[in-house]
Amino acid sequence: MNFDFSEDQKLLQKASRDFLEANCDIARVREIFESDHSYDEPLWKGAAEMGWQGAALPESVGGAGFGYLELVLVAEEVGRAIAAIPFAPSVYLATEALVLADDAALNGKYLPGLASGECIGTFAVSERLGQSDVKNVETTLTRGKLTGHKIAVPYGDIADIAIVVAKQQGKAVPVLVDLTGPGVKRNAVESFDPAISQASIEFDAAPAKRLGGLKDGERLISNVRDRAAILIAFEQLGAAQQCLDSAVEFARQRYAFGRPIASFQAMKHKLADMFTAVELARSNCYYGAWALSTDSEELPVAACLARISASEAFQFCAEENLQVHGGVGFTWEYDCHLFLRRAMVQGSMLGTARDWKRLLIRRLAASSASVE
């Protein structure tokens, strides 16, 4: 059985990397990082012209008509470039939520804009620091009006719509809110990674539309988060690989005691550990990509494995890349901190690796009980 990507898919990945190298080098990331801009608008428009935002959407709604295997490869390159665009919240979360809810009216209204990049979406869950459990949300939906607040909403300061996790009749449900409409107040907050802007949002009887049925709310939210976890894992994988490449390049060029530091055994062990973490994450990400593309019943477990291994690999490689660079790695002029910041912010999206480990245990226990 061949688990590799096809030649056409690899060509798409190469085209994506070439585009990002031409339009999103590290100097461009720094420019956004050090400015007041929330995202790289020219790059976002260019990505739309490449068809990235609608890669997994059908042509009938303005999508490119590819599939999830193509989308994960684009995601890997976006992660490698640590691009300052709202790709994850808009494409992996808002778009996926609408697709899974399968509301013809809402899809016809919003999916074409999301596919073209003209509409930017986001996903709002947390109301307190460290919260990832949707059952404990206090934001409420009553008679089509949303009241409450959310914090740490990725790109919430510039998004046009948000999929908000709320409570209705005691059940967690996903609702769609127009962030440009009445009853919405947004405040940009400082982000540890300024290339991923964040905002707190207050809802005061804001008009909202529930996605799916009342009884299906938690299942829909869980499914969206699982699919997004796999796609974000590919971004983390690409970034972890870039950290490894950067560390290897520096170790080969940096001399100490008359020889490259890459020749020292301790450095070889460090680089080998980074390589092992990346390849373990890659295996789990590929498993997740297969489950996502086939809509397998193994998707919930695959999502946990991909999310855990990719989060840990990115965090580890970002830290080790900085250590390989030594004293200069801690300076603003070098790029190590840009990847470390991205690793920490992405590692907390949709819950931390520890949260996903707990979820994996519950899902494996439930699966084992059902078999018995």
pLDDT tens for residues 291-317? 999 999 999 999 999 999 999 999 999
Question: How does 65-98 read in b/e, with b if 16+ C-beta sit within 10 Å?
Answer: ebebbbbbbbbbbbbbbbbbbbbbbbbbbbbbbb
Describe the crossing of helices 68-80 and 217-253 by its angle, rounded to 10 degrees: 40
What is the 3-state secondary structure of 295-328? CCCCHHHHHHHHHHHHHHHHHHHHHHHHHHHHHH
193, pLDDT greater than 60: yes
pLDDT tens for residues 140-156? 999 999 999 999 999 99
Within-domain flag for 280: yes
Within-domain flag for 95: no
76 and 138 share one domain: no
131, pLDDT greater than 90: no
Identify the band that residue 371 occupies on the pLDDT scale cut at 50, 70 and 90.
Answer: low
Looking at residue 95, its pLDDT comes to 97
Ramachandran quadrant class, 102 (left: phi over 0; alpha: psi -120 to 50; beta: rest): left
Within-domain flag for 16: yes
CA distance 330 to 337: 7
205 and 180 share one domain: yes
Closest CA to 122 of 100, 97, 148: 97
Looking at residue 243, its pLDDT comes to 98
353, 312 contact by CB (below 8 A): yes
165 and 197 share one domain: yes
Looking at residue 187, its pLDDT comes to 95
Within-domain flag for 94: no
Mean pLDDT of 262-291: 96
Residue 42, exposed/middle/buried by CB under 10 A (0-12, 13-18, 19+)?
exposed
**Residue 38 structural domain:** 7-89
Looking at residue 368, its pLDDT comes to 78
140, 182 contact by CB (below 8 A): no
265 and 233 share one domain: yes
CA distance 331 to 317: 17
CA distance 344 to 67: 29
Q: What H or E segment, with its residue span, contains residue 364?
A: helix 353-371
Looking at residue 128, its pLDDT comes to 87
Identify the band that residue 29 occupies on the pLDDT scale cut at 50, 70 and 90.
Answer: confident
- CATH code assigned at 290: 1.20.140.10
Our count of domains for the chain comes to 3
Within-domain flag for 114: no
132, pLDDT greater than 80: no
Within-domain flag for 311: yes
252, pLDDT greater than 90: yes
130, pLDDT greater than 80: no
336 and 232 share one domain: yes
Q: Which residues pair with 178 in a beta bridge?
A: 161
Mean pLDDT of 88-94: 96
Looking at residue 206, its pLDDT comes to 97
pLDDT tens for residues 44-74? 999 999 999 999 999 999 999 999 999 999 9
Within-domain flag for 263: yes
Looking at residue 133, its pLDDT comes to 78
- CATH code assigned at 185: 2.40.110.10
Looking at residue 372, its pLDDT comes to 59
Within-domain flag for 99: no
CA distance 284 to 131: 25
192 and 236 share one domain: no
Q: What H or E segment, with its residue span, contains residue 142?
A: strand 140-142
Looking at residue 37, its pLDDT comes to 86
Identify the band that residue 35 occupies on the pLDDT scale cut at 50, 70 and 90.
Answer: confident
367, pLDDT greater than 90: no
CA distance 227 to 104: 21
Average pLDDT of every residue of the chain: 94
329 and 222 share one domain: yes
Cβ neighbours of residue 135 closer than 8 Å, sequence gap 6 or more: 172, 218
80, pLDDT greater than 70: yes
135, 172 contact by CB (below 8 A): yes
Q: Which residue has the tokens 């959407």?
A: 57
125, pLDDT greater than 80: yes
Backbone angles phi, psi at 112, to 5 degrees: -60, -40
Cβ neighbours of residue 334 closer than 8 Å, sequence gap 6 or more: 325, 328
166, pLDDT greater than 60: yes
pLDDT tens for residues 223-250? 999 999 999 999 999 999 999 999 999 9
199 and 211 share one domain: yes
Looking at residue 340, its pLDDT comes to 96
Q: Which two tokens stand for residue 307?
A: 């999310």
Q: Which residue has the tokens 């460290």?
A: 130
1, pLDDT greater than 70: no
